[in-house]
Structure 1
Amino acid sequence: MAVDRISMLPDEVLYHILSFLPTQMAAKTSILSKRWKPLWLLVPTLFCDDRSYLRNYKPYHYFTKFIYATILARDVPITTFRLQCEASNTDFSVSDLQIWVNAAIQRGLENLYIRLPHNENQLSWNSCILGCKTLVVLKLAGLDLDVISFAHLPSLKTLHLFDVTFLEPLYLVSFADLPSLKTLDLRDVDFPEPQCLVDLLAGCPNLEYMRLRDIFYDDVDAIVHYKNFKSLSKLVRADIHSVLFDIFVESPKFDKYLDDILLFPNLTHVELMFGLWMSWDFVLAMLKHSPMLQYVVLSMQIQNGFYQYPVWISPCFAPECLSSQLRKCSIINYAGRESELHFAKYIMQNSKVLRTMTVCTLRYSELKVEDKLELLKELSLCPRSSSICELSFT
């Protein structure tokens, strides 16, 4: 006779196993035996996914009623709440969402994950979580957020926003206080103005990793209070793609302010997407304000007929990171433009401890074999400050 070894496991182990299942599926384990009947209600994770209801053509209110019943039936803390919805907003109610999140907060919420299908008629949500003292991880996707005048999340360590739009045109995050934040990941986020991003970063003094990709502003000409742009002294890695940061490095007022401050004093690894919203001025500013930088990845945007690459003008100085820190530099999607070639030469000529210069051409590059050989020859003949620098050209 087969032995049910799974049921013999300690409760804590079974809770952990059930926490990986959607709560609707975990509830079905209650029919296995008396041993399993109460377990799903004691799992501190609430994971709700409406796809099973949609696939089975069930009325959507069955899904919302299940969430209400599950929350009301729990006397244990809800440390993790994951909500994934694929339904249109004609079925989904934002008022339900606020009630569920509030209920989870009252039960000691630490991790919140919400993913909604973002569309033109997406319901806006006046967030009720921005004063939660217990929240450690916050991940939101597909949401429109209303005005945020104050955000105080003392325990938050990870913040991910994907496909999120902030609606209020003024005073979005006038006071952001995220003292414990280590990881900030913003992708496809629409802010009313650049000041919003400045204020958000100003409230993250202990940030260690930052990824900014496809950040948009409704008003790019809005006045920015540069003195709010504080040094991110703990930041060690940054990934910045398609972000309109040139407004900071091209403004005379901002340049004057930066004379007295290093923005990224401990940054060691940076990845930048060059093109459209990112200029050579910004690349140089990153080098200048990152004295500990050891690894730079510069990804060139694939050329199209609407964009003209600016000319690289070698400065008369070498940033501190080039003289003592930079070990590796990579240029991705290299197309043989004169500006790319001059930048690569500048790095090799001024980086005293550089170990590797990697140049990767476009996979489907229009460069002919003889042109690639000529570029390789020119780069190979370029003087190098580092005696151990190796050139990799693919």
Structure 2
Amino acid sequence: MEQTVGSPSKKRRTRTKVDRIGGLPDSLLLHILSFLPAKEAVATSLISRRWRPLWLSLPSLDLNLEGFQSLPFFHRFVDKMLKLVDLKSVKKFVLEIHSSNFKPRDCFRPLKISKWINAMISNKVEHLELQLILFYGEFELPPSVFITNNIRVLKLSGVTVGTLSHVHLPLLEVLHLRSVRFPEFQSLKMLLSASASLKELVLKFWFSVHDYNPLNIGRLDHLVSADVPQSLFPSAAFSNVTFLRLDQHYCTQGIWPLSDDIPMFYNCTHLECVAGEWTRMVNCLRNFPILEKLVISESFKQPASSTSPPEPVLDVPPCVSLHLKEFTLHYLQDPGSHFELLKFITENARFLRSATIRRAGASEDGLRMLQKLAANLRRYESCKPMKQPPLVFMSS
């Protein structure tokens, strides 16, 4: 007896016609589209009638020059999109223009870019990310960027911040400034001083401490993570953080960046910095009582020769003996000068789980130093209680 209605082949054909993704609610589909570049998000309108209107309500616009044949074509695409999309639904706006294939002066349209930014700000965008590397700081941000009640995340790269007369960013929590020009450094001070809710700060740009005194921005009480040039601010500004990276690469002076009167960093568990005289650095670790991860970089700029003896180690900081779990040393060019530091850490960090040495060179002296250190670590391991996991030692 034939039973064609319930045959397996017909059931399979029926299942293939069901659009399970298209059956999802609009909110979930829009969330999925928010992870796509704007050009690809628009292309999904060709899938079916169900997808056709979705891109008009995107919560995130990621506009990237990559994939476009020319800057003028990219400009026309952005103009058209911002006219059609419901800008009130856009919470995140990303604009990336950093391709070496184009000549910026041929198609540089600062007024057009400012118009796009102002449109997003007037429609209460919360996340604003501008990467305009192609223009090498020629584009100056409109003042409206710094006077808004809605921005929570502000990430800028390759732009110029002009003279600021007023800053109002009450909800700003994340601020990243990379390759940003400040013709007047007081504008940076004003920006940070007015960001009372700031939790994450990244500053990566060149400056000279001979031209600028450390900027007194007060204490950023809500700051959790700071990645900043080492001599730009008093260390008290960041004393509440759990993560602190002090970068010498963007600064013109300094070896160990913290002064003798540094505050207590009661919450800091991760510290990365440049160290010259290791004994002074170790003594300063008393102000980091719960430090668990320490990353030390050898200075690019060696200190001037001094006839004064090195500062003696007063005692073993509590963070080293009780909390330190990971230790890393970068840019090892003079193995002998840092062996005592490595020896001090491995002998006194009772709960150390990993020690990593990354060398700039592979000299015979360096190899001998590592062999000696490895032998020292083996002796250290043999004295540990059996219940503790073995120390992982890596070199590269």
What's the CA shift for 1:235?
0.8
What's the CA shift for 1:11?
1.0
> Which residue in the other structure is 2:78 paired with?
67
Instruction: Give me the TM-score of the superposition, normalised by structure 1.
Output: 0.75
> Which residue in the other structure is 2:273 paired with?
272
Asked if 1:164 is matched to 2:180, the reply is yes
> Which residue in the other structure is 1:355 paired with?
352
Find the residue that maps to 1:98 and give its secondary structure: helix
Deviations 1:135-181 (A, max 9, x none): 12222222222234554322222222222222225554236222322
Give the aligned CA root-mean-square deviation in angstroms: 4.0
- Within the candidate set 160, 178, 181, 2:195 is matched to 178
Paired with 1:364 and 1:192, the residues of 2 have a C-alpha distance of 29
What's the CA shift for 1:83?
0.7
- Within the candidate set 205, 211, 223, 2:227 is matched to 211
Q: What is the percent sequence identity of the aligned residues?
A: 24
Report the residue type matching 1:168 in the other structure. E
Instruction: Give me the TM-score of the superposition, normalised by structure 2.
Output: 0.75
What's the CA shift for 1:128?
2.5
Q: For the structure 1 residues 297 and 249, does the alpha-carbon distance in structure 2 shift closer, same or farther, using more than 3 Å as the test?
A: closer
Paired with 1:370 and 1:316, the residues of 2 have a C-alpha distance of 26
Q: For the structure 1 residues 50 and 250, does the alpha-carbon distance in structure 2 shift closer, same or farther, using more than 3 Å as the test?
A: closer
Find the residue that maps to 2:248 and give its secondary structure: strand
- Within the candidate set 16, 41, 49, 1:34 is matched to 49
> Which residue in the other structure is 2:96 paired with?
84
Q: When you count strand as a share of all residues, which structure comes out higher?
A: 1
Does the 8 Å CA contact 1:245/1:282 hold for their aligned counterparts? no
Does the 8 Å CA contact 1:139/1:160 hold for their aligned counterparts? yes
Report the residue type matching 1:360 in the other structure. I
Structure 2 segments unaligned to the other structure (5+ residues):
1-12
Paired with 2:354 and 2:39, the residues of 1 have a C-alpha distance of 52
Paired with 2:143 and 2:85, the residues of 1 have a C-alpha distance of 24
Q: Which of structures 1 and 2 has the bigger CA Rg?
A: 2
> Which residue in the other structure is 1:315 paired with?
312
> Which residue in the other structure is 2:157 paired with?
141
What's the CA shift for 1:37?
2.7
> Which residue in the other structure is 1:325 paired with?
323
User: What is the count of residue pairs matched by the alignment?
Assistant: 365
Q: For the structure 1 residues 330 and 30, does the alpha-carbon distance in structure 2 shift closer, same or farther, using more than 3 Å as the test?
A: closer
Q: For the structure 1 residues 61 and 339, does the alpha-carbon distance in structure 2 shift closer, same or farther, using more than 3 Å as the test?
A: same
Report the residue type matching 1:68 in the other structure. D
Asked if 1:7 is matched to 2:22, the reply is yes
Q: For the structure 1 residues 239 and 131, does the alpha-carbon distance in structure 2 shift closer, same or farther, using more than 3 Å as the test?
A: same
Q: For the structure 1 residues 153 and 120, does the alpha-carbon distance in structure 2 shift closer, same or farther, using more than 3 Å as the test?
A: closer
Q: For the structure 1 residues 282 and 64, does the alpha-carbon distance in structure 2 shift closer, same or farther, using more than 3 Å as the test?
A: farther
Question: Which runs of structure 2 are paired with 1:1-394 in the superposition (5 Å)?
Answer: 2-3=16-17, 4-54=19-69, 57=70, 60-75=71-86, 76-85=88-97, 86=99, 87-90=102-105, 91-118=107-134, 122-170=138-186, 172-174=188-190, 176-187=193-204, 189-191=205-207, 193=209, 198-199=215-216, 202=218, 204-212=220-228, 215=229, 230-243=236-249, 244=251, 255=260, 258=261, 261-262=263-264, 264-274=265-275, 280=278, 283-284=281-282, 286-300=284-298, 307=302, 313-318=310-315, 319-322=317-320, 324-334=322-332, 337-348=335-346, 351=348, 353-356=350-353, 358=355, 360=357, 362=359, 365-367=362-364, 370=368, 372-377=370-375, 392=393, 394=395
Paired with 2:56 and 2:280, the residues of 1 have a C-alpha distance of 53
Q: For the structure 1 residues 113 and 195, does the alpha-carbon distance in structure 2 shift closer, same or farther, using more than 3 Å as the test?
A: same
What's the CA shift for 1:82?
1.0
Deviations 1:84-117 (A, max 9, x none): 1135432132222222122111212111111112
Paired with 1:286 and 1:191, the residues of 2 have a C-alpha distance of 26
Does the 8 Å CA contact 1:118/1:163 hold for their aligned counterparts? no
Report the residue type matching 1:22 in the other structure. P
